[in-house]
């Protein structure tokens, strides 16, 4: 039994109801306007491999040193199982609500609400985290404060997010080409100036206070780093958020999710391997200043070119993330998660078809978050992504019970082993995170649970009615 609302499936063509007629008060639907190529471009841009490589990965270098590539490889392998779960659930439940629509349908309203809160944390925090890296890569031409530069990128991304989705697919596609070129240049230069062999990738060393200025990276440090490693390729789930706007979602959602994960993992992991092998010293690797390494391997002109490509990639990421995140808020309002005036405002679509109020409510707070401590944002994001994936894996474990097992959908191989193993591994990764980050995230989850118990549950007939639009 599920609390999710969906159109009934007719037993035969003769029993099929007449085509629905739109009436005032019907839930608004997003327009199906993009194919698998446009969806893949948007999804790859949301993974934003180059900006992740240049903004997030240096933080892993500082704590994991030569173990960074191994940690990202393990995280990417885990994400294959996660992608299987997203692909199966995304074709069963093609909704702009993404994770929360899938989990609500399979695991109940409270589980869906909690995954919505975790996804909302992620979608609100990740764009400013990436945006704040802009200042470092504009440094060759402009000296900017990271917080103000990040806020400016968020405002620019918000304005772009108000445009038509097809136009944004072309904009982000052009920027994506530039960031892939930047990642490719780094990979070629790193391998061409290799200081150490492939064995360094499993050497597990980081600059520190140990003998010879070297510390050993422990297995527990790698497990702890997996939360951020999962975040590195996290954007592949955007295909699920876009499932209402993808043509033929039953086919294109799975294709986009799996292809995006494969492509983004290669774009990120190959340069990380090259950087690990090409860094002049363990200290230089641990410092994680990729721009300085590129300049040392080539010259200042190449370093400036790569830096500017990365700055454009970050702007690109901001645009796509604002698009994705506004769809989450739009879907939550359509599913009546909030008081009536809030639902009405968030459901408004502009002339371009974009949910403009939801877009503004994603972009403006994102600009303000650029002034929050970066380590806290990283920590809360890592915990939230891991918890969200855990709940999606639980939903995937339940995806074939009852009538769901007979519906037309992409089906993952090795079910139920894949979700069972994911649940165990992700629960363990969560247990190894810092208590402060678990505390921040846990406090928000407790507050969300109280909102559900005190406001949503007593109004179960009129609030949090998770809907799955007809294709």
With beta carbons less than 8 A apart as the criterion, state whether 201 and 273 touch.
yes
Return the higher-pLDDT residue of 41 and 67: 67
The more confidently predicted of residues 187 and 202 is 187
34-459: CATH superfamily: Amino acid/polyamine transporter I (1.20.1740.10)
78-87, 179-188, 315-324: which range is least confident on average? 315-324
Instruction: Say if residues 119 and 381 touch (Cβ distance below 8 Å).
Output: no
Instruction: Please give the mean pLDDT across all residues of the chain.
Output: 82
Cβ atoms of 31 and 161 closer than 8 Å: no
H helices of 279-373, in order, are 282-287, 290-297, 300-334, 340-346, 356-369
Rounded to an integer, the average pLDDT of 336-346 is 91
User: Within 13 A of 246's CA, how many CA atoms are on the CB side?
Assistant: 30
Query: Which of 152, 150, 178 is closest to 307 using CA atoms?
Result: 178
Domain ranges in the chain are 34-459
Average pLDDT over residues 70-98: 87
Mean pLDDT of 344-355: 80
Measured between alpha carbons, how far is 136 from 142 in angstroms, rounded to an integer? 9
Cα separation, 151 vs 131, in Å, equals 7
Task: Give pTM, 2 decimals.
Answer: 0.77
Query: How much is the pLDDT for 191?
Result: 95
Confidence of residue 25 (pLDDT cuts 50, 70, 90): very low
Note the pLDDT of residue 2: 35
Q: How confident is the model at residue 24 (pLDDT cuts 50, 70, 90)?
A: very low
* Residue 97: predicted pLDDT: 67
Q: What is the mean pLDDT of residues 255-266?
A: 86
Give the pair of three-digit tokens for residue 157. Answer: 């991304």
Question: Among 256, 252, 295, which Cα is nearest to 45's?
Answer: 256
Over the range 19-47, which residues count as b (16 or more CB within 10 Å of their CB) and which as e? eeeeeeeeeeebebebebebbbbbbbbbb
Top-confidence residue, 309 or 470:
309
């Amino acid at each position: 039994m599920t609390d999710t609302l969906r159109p009934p499936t007719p037993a035969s063509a003769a029993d099929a109801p007449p085509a629905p007629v739109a009436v005032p008060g019907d839930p608004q639907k997003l327009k199906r306007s993009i194919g698998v190529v446009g969806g893949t471009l948007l999804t790859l841009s949301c993974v934003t491999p180059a900006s992740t490589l240049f903004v997030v990965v240096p933080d892993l270098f500082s704590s994991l040193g030569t173990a960074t590539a191994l940690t990202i490889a393990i995280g990417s392998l885990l994400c294959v199982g996660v992608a299987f779960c997203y692909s199966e659930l995304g074709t069963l439940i093609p909704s702009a609500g993404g994770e929360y629509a899938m989990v609500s349908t399979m695991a109940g309203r409270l589980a869906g609400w909690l995954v919505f809160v975790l996804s909302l944390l992620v979608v609100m925090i990740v764009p400013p985290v990436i945006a704040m890296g802009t200042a470092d890569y504009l440094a060759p031409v402009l000296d900017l404060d990271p917080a103000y530069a990040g806020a400016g990128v968020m405002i620019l991304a918000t304005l772009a997010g108000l445009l038509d989705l097809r136009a944004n697919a072309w904009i982000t596609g052009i920027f994506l080409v530039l960031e892939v070129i930047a990642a490719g240049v780094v990979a070629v230069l790193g391998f061409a100036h290799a200081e150490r062999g492939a064995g360094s990738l499993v050497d597990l060393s980081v600059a520190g206070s140990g003998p010879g200025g070297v510390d050993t990276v422990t297995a527990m440090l790698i497990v702890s780093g997996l939360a951020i490693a999962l975040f590195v390729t996290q954007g592949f789930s955007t295909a699920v958020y876009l499932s209402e706007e993808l043509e033929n979602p039953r086919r294109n959602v799975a294709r986009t999710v799996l292809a995006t994960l494969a492509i983004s993992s290669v774009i990120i992991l190959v340069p990380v391997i090259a950087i690990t092998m090409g860094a002049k010293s363990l200290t230089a690797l641990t410092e994680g200043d990729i721009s300085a390494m590129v300049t040392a391997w080539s010259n200042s002109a190449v370093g400036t070119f790569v830096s500017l490509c990365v700055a454009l990639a970050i702007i690109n990421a901001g645009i796509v993330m604002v698009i994705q995140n506004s769809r989450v808020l739009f879907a939550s309002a359509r599913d009546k998660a909030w008081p009536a005036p809030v639902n009405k405002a968030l459901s408004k679509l502009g002339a371009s078809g974009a949910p403009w109020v939801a877009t503004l409510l994603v972009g403006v707070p994102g600009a303000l978050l650029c002034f929050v401590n970066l380590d806290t944002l990283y920590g809360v994001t890592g915990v939230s992504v891991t918890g969200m994936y855990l709940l999606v894996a639980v939903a995937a474990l339940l995806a074939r019970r009852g009538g769901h097992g007979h519906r037309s959908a992409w089906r993952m191989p090795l079910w139920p082993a894949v979700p069972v193993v994911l649940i165990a591994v992700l629960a363990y990764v969560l247990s190894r995170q810092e208590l402060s980050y678990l505390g921040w995230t846990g406090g928000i989850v407790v507050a969300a649970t109280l909102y559900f118990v005190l406001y949503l549950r007593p109004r179960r007939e009129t609030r949090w009615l998770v809907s799955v639009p007809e294709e």
